[in-house]
Amino acid sequence: MGEVIVVTSGKGGVGKTTTTANLGTGLAKLNKKVVLIDTDIGLRNLDVVMGLENRIVYNLVDVIEENCKLKQALIKDKRYPTLFLLPAAQTKDKTSVTPEQMKGLTDELKQEYDYIILDCPAGIEQGFKNAIAGADKALVVTTPEVSAVRDADRIIGLLEANEVKDPQLIVNRLRPDMIKRGDMMSADDVVDILAVDLIGQIPDDENIVVSTNNGEPLVGDNSQAGQAYMNICRRVTGENVPFLDLDVKKGLFGWLRRK
């Protein structure tokens, strides 16, 4: 039985889609069977970040409305045969899908895939409710800025109110030089304020822009962000091992500090 993970943030532009793409690709690298679902109906983006925009025939709404079979709508990744994308519809809106339908879909996918990762739209309306409906766990992405952290806090409250327990935090776009100067909150500062577990900290890395330009997630390559994302993937798969997270985290933090 697979696991349904929703990647959410509240605020837009903090790196949800990039995180979803890298998490999915990284897990496929670890030989897991993965489906990525873009739940941002009307504003699809995950397809271009994955470099699969030219292969779309059917989309999420087609599957829900039974215009096609689920298998027909899943797009196989260019590089990894166990990685699939279910793109969002571009011409519909978020009310085309209900939370019950989303839960039905993820429950079905869980039977066959190890991980179903949902890219949640920004905001707390219908799209958010759809995305979290079938989620077993949530990864909350934030950046070390007051607006993003505030929204993350709100999202964490809503997740807990909707029975998605113990969300884990990814702090994105960290700049060690600014943290050292005292001009940026560290991941620890953010964790302190939000009182949730940290699962990853991603440095601000220009390679992300390059990888998005090319439509090839950089997880697992030699870049700082690529390694940080791979570490998150390993933590996602190894989460039943006690204290493993903490050790990896310390290692990563030391590495961030040294920069």
Please give the residue ranges that form the binding site for another protein (CB under 8 A). Answer: 144-146, 149-150, 153-154, 157, 179, 181-186, 189, 192-193, 195
Please spell the DSSP secondary structure of 190-246, one letter per residue: HHHHHTSEEEEEEE--THHHHHHHHT---TTSSSHHHHHHHHHHHHHHTTTSTTHHH
Rounded CA-CA distance 146/6 in Å is 23
Least distance between another protein and beta carbon 99 (Å):
23
> Which DSSP category does 121 fall into?
P
Specify the residue, 45 or 201, whose C-beta has the smaller distance to another protein. 201
Residue 193 Cβ, how far from another protein at the closest point, in Å? 5
Handedness of CA 94, 38, 75, 99 (dihedral sign): negative
159-193: b or e for each residue (b if 16 or more CB lie within 10 Å)?
A: beeeebeebbbbbbbbbbeebeeeebbbbeebbee
Shortest Cβ 149–another protein spacing (Å): 6
* Planar angle of CA 118, 123, 124, nearest 5 degrees: 85
CB 28 within 8 A of CB 83: yes
For another protein, give the closer residue by CB, 4 or 156: 156
Q: Which is nearer to another protein, 66 or 183 (CB)?
A: 183
Residue 14 is classified by DSSP as S
- What separation in angstroms does the CA of 9 have from each of 12, 168, 257? 7, 11, 25
Nearer Cβ to another protein, position 189 or 221? Answer: 189
We find the least distance from the C-beta atom of residue 228 to another protein, in angstroms, to be: 20
Residue 67 CB, nearest approach to another protein (Å): 42
Nearer to another protein, 64 or 187 (CB): 187
Which lies closer to another protein via its Cβ, residue 181 or residue 258?
181
Residue 122 has φ and ψ, to the nearest 5°, of: -65, 160
Q: Could you tell me the smallest distance in angstroms from the CB atom of residue 156 to another protein?
A: 10
